[in-house]
């Protein structure tokens, strides 16, 4: 009797289905970008048709095209479109940051040449064209006084105006305020300077100056106030509108008066945004040249009195030094510009820290 033995082979267990799709390796995108820049550089410099900017632009276009092709082959059309649009957004961000980085680098590299004690502790009084010394102490003093006075005038007035428009304003009067604020937002700085020149310098100041028109830092502060006011009003108005209505309603339900609700609830909640708007207005005012030139006149000497005699500012100092024929003037202009940017940055950081400490949630 013959016995037949049948052998059964053991089959491996079936693999569970996976949702993972094929992906490009991480090194592919940087490699494509490097290759695109090299090809763009070869095209631009080989043909002699441009410089680094054109290399970056052509390289970005080549990078987007090559990345789409590679992703389409490996990952599919849908993923390729997603990856290409993501790369386009990142490329747009880089292209937007490059000019800012270039400005900062140029400002720092050229501004550090005269960034010394002599620049910050001396003025341009009795400084000749062949004198390498001289600084912007008088301009720094003028900028701080003018912008400080303008802020003292504008910030309370602008915040109160915005509170009225948001919390109390109804009808034609509130509409008129919004309309004129919008109109003032777009006026050129030279118009603000001419207005203060015609009103304050030529009409009002002679009553306090023995019949003679008086140029002063206070007149420049008034002109800067005209430029700052619409920015403060509009930014504060938008921040107040963003405060949730339940916060106001809860305070009213507890019997809190409206003025105290605004003071204790609404303003602290909107404070960070209000501070940002105020600092934008201060930054604009600190960089204005035309109003200061028209109504303050500028000057080389130090003047601590904003109500008498001519007074300079950092923006005006940059303008004057940039047009000076002295070989030492450009370095002073770059350092003054760097000082102005640093001053605005320091004030912004200080204001942000102060607003963070005083937020409602603390």
Q: What is the pLDDT of residues 246-268, one digit of tens each?
A: 988 898 888 889 999 999 999 98
C-beta of residue 59 within 8 angstroms of C-beta of residue 40? yes
Looking at the predicted structure, is the pLDDT value of residue 19 above 60? no
CB 67 within 8 A of CB 36: no
Give the tokens for residue 360.
């409602």
Round to whole Å and give the CA distance between 343 and 286. Answer: 9
Structure tokens at 100: 């800012």
Mean predicted confidence (pLDDT) in 303-311? 91
Q: What is the pTM of this model?
A: 0.79
| Domains, the chain | 8-112 (no CATH), 120-357 (1.10.3720.10)
> Within 10 Å of residue 228's Cβ, how many Cβ atoms?
29
pLDDT exceeds cutoff 50 at 36: yes
Q: What are 327's two structure tokens?
A: 């070989």
Measured CA to CA, the distance from residue 182 to residue 66 in angstroms comes to 47
Q: How many CA atoms lie within 13 A of 257 on its CB side?
A: 3
Average pLDDT over residues 83-109: 87
Average pLDDT, the chain: 86
Cα distances from 336 to residues 104, 108, 154, 265, 341, in angstroms, run 14, 11, 26, 41, 9
pLDDT recorded at residue 1: 45
Place of tokens 């763009």: 40
Distances (CA, A) of 228 to 84, 142, 161, 169, 178: 43, 17, 13, 22, 15
More confident residue, 362 or 346: 346
């Amino acid at each position: 009797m013959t016995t037949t033995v049948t052998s059964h082979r053991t089959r491996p267990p079936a693999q569970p289905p996976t949702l993972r799709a094929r992906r490009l390796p991480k090194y592919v995108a940087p490699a494509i970008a490097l290759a695109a820049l090299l090809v763009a550089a070869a095209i631009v410099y080989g043909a002699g048709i441009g410089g680094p900017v054109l290399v970056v632009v052509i390289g970005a276009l080549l990078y987007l095209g090559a990345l789409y092709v590679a992703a389409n082959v490996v990952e599919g059309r849908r993923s390729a479109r997603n990856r290409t649009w993501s790369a386009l957004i990142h490329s747009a961000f880089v292209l937007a940051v490059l000019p800012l980085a270039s400005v900062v680098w140029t400002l720092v590299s050229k501004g550090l040449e005269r960034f010394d004690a002599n620049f910050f502790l001396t003025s341009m009084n009795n400084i000749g064209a062949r004198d390498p010394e001289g600084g912007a102490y008088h301009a720094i003093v003028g900028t701080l006084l003018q912008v400080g006075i303008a802020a003292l005038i504008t910030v309370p007035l602008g915040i109160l105006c915005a509170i009225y428009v948001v919390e109390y304003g109804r009808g034609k009067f509130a509409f008129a305020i919004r309309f004129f604020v919008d109109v003032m937002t777009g006026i050129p700085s030279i118009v603000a300077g001419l207005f203060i020149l015609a009103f304050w310098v030529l009409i009002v100041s002679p009553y306090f100056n023995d019949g003679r028109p008086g140029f002063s830092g206070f007149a420049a502060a008034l002109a800067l106030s005209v430029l700052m006011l619409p920015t403060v009003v509009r930014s504060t108005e938008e921040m107040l509108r963003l405060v949730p209505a339940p916060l106001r309603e809860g305070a009213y339900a507890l019997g809190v008066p409206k003025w105290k609700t605004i003071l204790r609830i609404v303003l602290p909640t909107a404070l960070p945004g209000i501070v940002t708007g105020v600092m934008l207005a201060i930054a604009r005012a600190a960089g204005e040249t035309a109003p200061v030139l028209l109504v303050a006149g500028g000057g080389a000497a130090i003047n601590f009195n904003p109500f008498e005699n001519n007074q300079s500012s950092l923006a005006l100092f940059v303008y004057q030094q940039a047009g000076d024929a002295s070989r030492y003037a450009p370095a002073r202009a770059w350092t003054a510009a760097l000082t102005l940017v640093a001053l605005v940055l320091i004030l912004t950081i200080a204001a942000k820290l102060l607003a963070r400490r005083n937020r409602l949630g603390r």
